Structure 1
């Protein structure tokens, strides 16, 4: 927990509530999603708020009444913080810099509008420091798998008050350092992206030698390539298959048989320390998909990753999300794995993926995959060269990722130091000197005066209409599938579980009944689940 004693000694402090105006955004509801076109406005949500940056490429819209527009419209210098996020990211903050000109915000975000004595850029540095140092995650509470910062808990945090001249110096120094860090991270990310693409291009160059995928029925002139279907180059006694449909619970008593899922395939190898194990009896039923050293595995659900089975995994098995190709005597295992990982083969396979939520390949497509076959000596020579190239590039990627990780850790530490740590103390000495306490006290006095003015003049504080003030909301201790379904049917748009939980006005103890209701609705076919990206889930009533 952050304590004022951690601030430079000459600084004063107040609470976040005193340091500026805090407000939670407008909630999505049937009324706001079905309003008139004239009232539709773009707004920010958690997905748009990154660390020190707003992602404005995908802005959603909902209806804001004239009164709501006045209340929730953003002004330049407003800081948005993620109210609900994973625990390590809760409170992630960015500043609105008046682009686009008219923009609003949802109730998954908290807006902080600083007192005129506090520079918004300094407030942003403080809040980023709180997020990076774990202050926000410490005070957050989790209702489901999402941690909530909580407006009141956020308001009661201490806020440091250095003199204005010190704030300006901190902002200038922090921005210079941040610009250098950002430039370095962008350069490293470009290196990683380029290095990740090079193995596929190298495979195309060495394997294809300018040939066109699958279009030559006879050897390509000068290349010695003959195009064969994958089904025709595997061992006769081991056709292309996928594996276990239902592996059952993990067997960890030493008797289990390891099995490989699509997510266990990474960059040409199998991540063995995360493998699960099925019972010997289930593995025996799927003996047809048992593995041997040199088998080539291809992910066929979502990811099209490729790996070769090492000797220690002989006897293991696979799941239905992975296809096994056991090369015949005319094809080298490494050569086949390199081909399936090539840009040309991956493009061919991706063009045949089916489905939206869980795009996948049929085994028929895998069996039809064209394979460029040449003499074994040439295959092994190409494989050895590609093994060296890919190993070198993977090493480069690992080094670059490690450098990026160190830079991000440096960014977190420096942000804290600029906000109220050692760098802040040094800047304080270099700027305000002996006048620091006086200047800091003046800011505190102004803020306290502003707060007392609000208390003496309640009309200055926005209030809800009387009809809403008189209502008392009682949180329900549990819910039923029927209640959940009724709310989903009223909503015109899909809802994520967290918003659905809130709209049902459920207490924290209702989590178990809430997810039990979701499971029952899904099993009965009355609920649809969508995944707009790799992390989010959206729920709606089935048609």
Structure 2
């Protein structure tokens, strides 16, 4: 190309090998096969790989090399929800022998012309995402790409030295991300410690002085089921919390649905309402949260129930922390009944569980205040993390689109805005 500083584009399959993964569901005998761990969509996040929950599969020994991931391989999701389309990260070989599932593409760069870290930065940039959205097969809230579309993706190919410069800049920002994430992890550990110490009688045989142990129904005299209505994405309706809208004891409003019809005022949420997820997978059933008036008007779906605490005896915030306690979560799962791909907790049986709580409401409030202080610090760090990630995305786009003026501006804004 003749323009000064312009970078040539090449098809992805000319600078890297693109391969599909292992299809699951086959039966391989224990005698013939080898049990090995494999990566699935849930493991591949945006910019990192989470191996906290790995699964294994039995394969024939001769299949291992075909589906094996090696250090430096870029793993990309084929799609699903829009946020999963082209999501990817570079494998660091933390598990020496590991395969990848067929819903993941393995992209193995020719490192003489393309650094995997540079390629990962490009596909995760807004330019890369624009390409995926332009070629993907889309239905309502879902999108997928196939191998041919991925292989055809145009990739800017500057010199290896230039690629190293881009990667070094982005890695320095990634170090800031890691530092903040580490701080959040430590704060969460502190919070967990405060909660476990403050609620230690939950796991004790004897009830200590100043504490009560009663059936939950004595301090939660009633429950309300949510609405049963067909929801949609039209925000002119009434915001309706569903099972996925509770996270860490609070409402998560990222993927709201709406009720297009009127809702009885008795089913509208009030500040201080405690919501309990009665139906979900075994991992998520029992999630709870307290409504803080985050929206002017909202209701809740029938998979959730509202637990109406007797506020003369029980602080609703304490009730949520009790429901989140690991011992209580285990007790809740023990009374769940299995349905098709989900489990259900009957609110009547839930209210038969014994709850331990400080009789003095001020003691309950003191514990909540300590947890709130941790939550505030975690919230501040999350805001900082969001700023760093936005800065990283902006700088990435500027570097990859060759707009140095924009890059200089982003760096100055970032230095002023991120503590």
Do both share a fold (TM > 0.5)? yes
Greater strand content: 2
Structure 2 match to 1:104: 99
Which range is displaced more, 340-349 or 112-121? 340-349
Structure 2 match to 1:20: 16
Task: Tell me: CA distance 1:141–1:169, structure 2 relative to 1, closer, same or farther (3 Å).
Answer: same
Is it true that 1:399 corresponds to 2:384 in the alignment? no
Instruction: Report the alpha carbon displacement of residue 129 of structure 1 after superposing the two structures with TM.
Output: 2.8
Is it true that 1:175 corresponds to 2:171 in the alignment? yes
Contact 1:92/1:131, CA 8 A, preserved across alignment: no
Structure 1 match to 2:412: none
Task: Tell me: CA distance 1:398–1:139, structure 2 relative to 1, closer, same or farther (3 Å).
Answer: same
Is it true that 1:305 corresponds to 2:288 in the alignment? yes
- Larger Cα Rg: Structure 1 or Structure 2? 1
Instruction: Report the alpha carbon displacement of residue 363 of structure 1 after superposing the two structures with TM.
Output: 1.6
1:165 to 145, 149, 161: 161
Structure 2 match to 1:332: 312
Q: 2:331 aligns to what SS in structure 1?
A: coil
Is it true that 1:88 corresponds to 2:71 in the alignment? no
Greater helix content: 1
The C-alpha deviation readout for 1:293-338, integer Å capped at 9, x for no partner, is 898645261235254899x99xx999574254452xxx626x4324
Q: TM-score w.r.t. structure 1 length?
A: 0.56
2:354 to 333, 349, 369: 369
Instruction: Report the alpha carbon displacement of residue 261 of structure 1 after superposing the two structures with TM.
Output: 6.6
Contact 2:323/2:329, CA 8 A, preserved across alignment: no
Contact 1:203/1:338, CA 8 A, preserved across alignment: no
The answer for unaligned runs of 5 or more in structure 2 is: 279-284, 409-419
Q: TM-score w.r.t. structure 2 length?
A: 0.70
Instruction: Spell out the pairing of 1:517-528 with structure 2 (5 A cutoff).
Output: none
The 2-side partners of 1:426 and 1:306 are apart by 41
Instruction: Report the alpha carbon displacement of residue 81 of structure 1 after superposing the two structures with TM.
Output: 1.8
Instruction: Spell out the pairing of 1:254-333 with structure 2 (5 A cutoff).
Output: 276=259, 297=274, 299=276, 301=278, 302-305=285-288, 307=290, 319=302, 321-325=304-308, 327=310, 332=312
Aligned residues: 385
The 2-side partners of 1:364 and 1:426 are apart by 59
Q: 2:125 aligns to what SS in structure 1?
A: helix
Contact 1:243/1:318, CA 8 A, preserved across alignment: no
Which range is displaced more, 85-94 or 271-280? 271-280
The answer for unaligned runs of 5 or more in structure 1 is: 235-239, 428-543
The C-alpha deviation readout for 1:110-131, integer Å capped at 9, x for no partner, is 2223333333333333333367
What is the root-mean-square deviation in Å for CA atoms of aligned residues? 4.8
Contact 1:43/1:62, CA 8 A, preserved across alignment: no
The C-alpha deviation readout for 1:481-504, integer Å capped at 9, x for no partner, is xxxxxxxxxxxxxxxxxxxxxxxx
The C-alpha deviation readout for 1:342-374, integer Å capped at 9, x for no partner, is 459845542432236325254244145345574
